Chains A and B, each alone.
Chain A
């Protein structure tokens, strides 16, 4: 297998090379990518293929709570939901991970360790990323030491938008090193990057720096994840894989609330990145309310009628 470091060593040698590479990536035509994502959005997924998609989507959820009001009680309840999304139906798959603030990692780890549900923690002065590198590293180490298996970092959008690609690259590298065995998701906050060209450049930057996942949003900025943005990012991991042989993941987060939305994303995963990415190791949904809609739709598929929100548990 070719390795990314060898393949792209000259690209990341210095700031100038990095800039030249990122600006040499093919542009993204906004009309075209939006047309394509709207077109794929009309795929009609029914019956067995819908059931399969629902279970797959459940297994890809990073069940998230990122509020100032989070308490250990809230996190424990979220973890219970993550382990067993539908108490009436033990065959429903577990979600991929719970996603919490660093100070809640310990509580979450105690609840889910050994169950196969991961614990993801946001870090690096989430959501704005406006702090010193020292504090960002400490933030990451705090989460990792508490047992987080995944770290969701934010990039410094200010540095990216002012063209300091090397600085963003180094920061991701440093945080990756601080992660140890934890997998790193790099949040691009695409709502602040504004253009698809920027999304493509930031995606490649994060992949070059060693991010295991590229993630759209913090959920704190509008717009959060959109289908066309996710298309651009899926294309990036596809191209990365074609160039290096390394599979990397994508995580849209924020604003995905319904089964219908989730299926549209899965169609994009299937047809833009490829069937290989239909895997919780390579695709995640950062969401909270999505899970209950998936569960309700799952029941509807099995029971032939819709039973409503009173029949699924709140977390």
Chain B
């Protein structure tokens, strides 16, 4: 007996989509002097809106406005006062949660259940959490009265547009810094609604500036001499360019870059929940997650059982309209990203890995890629080494804990890892030996503002979230 779920689309009217969006500079929405960009709904390929972008001169104005605001108002304001503004932003995000969720799904392609249940609530949580720190920085472990750094130049990616903006802006503001933030070229909309919220929360002009644009504007921003601290989340390739160009300038830098996380399943794991964790690890947000569990390391003695259960489970994932409340896997964010995924998947087939792709129906229009699992993968293959940033899982096996550690650590990255076992001592042993900024035990892809997040090696440095995350925004 089959039971088809009728379409249950969230109304797109809730997004309050406008035809034009402008950048936010010194407290005002203004037309940028750059070439306007058109942002596209990746699920339908239709143009959603035209967005004005910044020119180098706009970047200069924004950094100067931020500097002014930092010197005259924000940096001098007592922490308890700053907190009031930040709490207000948090509450307003929560109040406009539905609007932000629908807009995020339209612009990014992620399923509404994720934008609604993860992105937006976690974004609000970051503002709530950091608002609480603003008047308690004396007790954060950095000595009495730690000072802000100044102006933060922040560049964020397209995979969690609003959430990344919150990750970056909230701690900066709590610590007394002002911000110039560049959202990703393909997903500028929710950051500009956040700008609206910031304006309505009556933050002093210049404290937060949001400048859409392409990579060149990002480069302009991070290299601007008025910027004191740079925070970048994105590709390792760009991260390296930024680090090179910032060398010797004295600017503080944190980078949160790529990953190729190992999700390690031992034979004594809670198998059914491990399967859920594997699915959540790689198919959450279409695999567009820097900490995605893109390499499954499974102990040989249970490999067949786990793979069998995994394929059955993945086949139940519903791929399609991101606004449908029952969609599990949405659209790939852009044509370029889809092409990159296809290229890497082809390389996996060429190199001899065994491909299995979910038989689920895939929409004809828009950028979609059906969930895919590669078995018989070896460390030498590109799909085991390179970040795919898509719904593609590479499965490797191991025989002993030592081999699991060796394979998991055999990557230039080191952002996250997962360990699945019912044995507590093994969890601690693995967490100790895995070279990854976050090690999840019997879960995966759980985010919380109280937990520091960041990487090793080519996954970047610096931490975001938690007490440790404050350090990047304090002159300590």
Contact = CB atoms under 8 A, between A and B. Distances in A.
Interface in B1-26: 1-8
Contacts of A45: 5-6, 8
Interface string A254-275: 0000000000001000110001
B3 A42 contact: no
B154 interface: no
Given A28-B272, A235-B272, A42 B325 contact: yes
B443 interface: yes
Given A32-B442, A44-B326, A45-B8, A275 B3 contact: yes
A282 to B, nearest CB: 10
A56 B316 CA distance: 21
Interface in B268-282: 268-274, 276-277
A26 B326 CA distance: 29
A33 B272 contact: yes
A25 B193 CA distance: 50
A237 to B, nearest CB: 13
A241 to B, nearest CB: 12
Interface residues of A, number: 29
Nearest to B422: A27
Interface string A86-116: 0000000000000000000000000000000
Nearest to B316: A271
Contacts of B268: 26-27
Interface in A104-138: none
Nearest to A232: B272
Interface string A223-239: 00000000000010000
A1 interface: no
Contact of A49 (B5, B113, B271, B277): B5
Contacts of B2: 275, 278
B117 interface: yes
A222 interface: no
A279 B1 CA distance: 7
A28 B270 contact: yes
A32 B277 CA distance: 8
A69 interface: no
A47 B3 CA distance: 12
B379 to A, nearest CB: 27
A52 interface: yes
Interface string A38-73: 000011111111101100100000000000000000
Given A56-B3, A266-B3, A278-B1, A44 B270 contact: no
Interface in B285-327: 316, 325-326
A27 B1 CA distance: 31
A278 B270 contact: no
A167 interface: no
Contact of A36 (B117, B273, B326): B273
Nearest to A28: B270
A279 to B, nearest CB: 6
A73 to B, nearest CB: 37
Contacts of B274: 29, 32
Give the interface residue-count category, chain B: 20 to 34
A32 B265 CA distance: 14
Contact of B6 (A31, A47, A275): A47
Interface in B311-360: 316, 325-326
A74 interface: no
Contact of A29 (B5, B113, B117, B273): B273
Given A49-B3, A276-B1, A33 B326 contact: no
A32 B273 CA distance: 5
Nearest to B328: A39
Interface string B245-286: 000000000000000000000001111111011000000000
B3 A31 contact: no
Contact of B8 (A46, A235, A271): A46
A248 B326 CA distance: 28
A33 B268 CA distance: 17
Given A32-B277, A42-B117, A48-B6, A26 B271 contact: yes
Given A32-B443, A42-B113, A278 B272 contact: no
A32 B270 contact: yes
Contacts of B422: 27, 29
A43 B272 contact: no
A193 to B, nearest CB: 17
A35 interface: yes
B442 A31 contact: yes
A36 B272 CA distance: 10
A29 B270 contact: yes
Interface centre among A29, A46, A270 (most CB of B within 10 A): A29
B3 A53 contact: yes
Contacts of A28: 270, 272-273
Interface of B: 1-8, 113, 117, 268-274, 276-277, 316, 325-326, 422, 442-443
26 contacts: A27-B269, A27-B270, A27-B422, A29-B273, A29-B443, A31-B442, A31-B443, A32-B272, A32-B276, A32-B277, A33-B272, A43-B5, A43-B326, A44-B8, A44-B325, A46-B6, A47-B6, A49-B5, A49-B6, A50-B6, A53-B3, A56-B3, A235-B272, A270-B3, A271-B316, A278-B1
The 9 closest A-B pairs by CB, nearest first: A32-B273, A44-B8, A44-B325, A29-B273, A29-B270, A26-B271, A49-B6, A47-B6, A27-B422
Given A26-B270, A42-B117, A44-B5, 7 more contacts: A26-B269, A27-B422, A33-B272, A42-B325, A44-B326, A46-B8, A275-B1
